[in-house]
């Protein structure tokens, strides 16, 4: 006789990650990336909401004792090089929305890439020139 857990899993199906038989979200083929930056937040007290990681080899420009937190990227340009696709993707950032310049202007709140890809990200206040991109 099947157990209650078995019956629940069978009824819920495998599409929903919250289902007992659902696919683990970490096993998906794509991953969503939300690029952020570190910022000092003096209202956080001595320890920020998202402090710098312990044991990092931080350059002198960081003061470990200040309250660091995460913030959305400022308006500007984000460049993502995909090792798998061997292509540089360009995104314009306006009001925390990423507009892909390589896909006819599609907009998104996060970037989606294959989970098995290696990516390099670079941010700039100004758009890179074609000469710099080469």
Helix (H/G/I), strand (E/B), else coil: 110: coil
How far is Cα 99 from Cα 113, in angstroms, rounded to an integer?
Answer: 15
- Which range, 2-6, 20-24, 34-38, 103-107, has the best average confidence (pLDDT)? 34-38
Choose between 17 and 130: higher pLDDT: 130
- Give residue 71's pLDDT: 84
Summary mean pLDDT of the chain:
77
Per-residue pLDDT reduced to its tens digit, 25-79: 666 788 888 888 888 777 766 655 555 566 666 554 666 667 777 888 899 999 9
Flag whether the pTM goes above 0.85.
Answer: no
């Amino acid at each position: 006789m099947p157990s209650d857990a078995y019956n629940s899993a069978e009824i819920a199906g495998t599409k929903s990650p919250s289902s007992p038989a659902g696919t683990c979200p970490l096993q998906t083929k794509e991953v969503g990336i939300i690029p952020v930056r570190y910022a000092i937040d003096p209202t956080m007290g001595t320890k920020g909401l998202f402090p710098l990681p312990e044991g990092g080899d931080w350059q002198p420009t960081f003061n470990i004792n200040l309250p660091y937190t995460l913030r959305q990227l400022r308006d500007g340009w984000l460049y993502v090089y995909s090792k798998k696709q061997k292509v540089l993707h360009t995104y314009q950032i306006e009001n925390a929305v990423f507009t892909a310049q390589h896909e006819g202007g599609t907009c998104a709140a996060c970037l989606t890439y294959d989970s098995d890809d290696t990516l390099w990200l670079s941010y700039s206040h100004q758009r890179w020139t074609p000469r710099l991109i080469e």
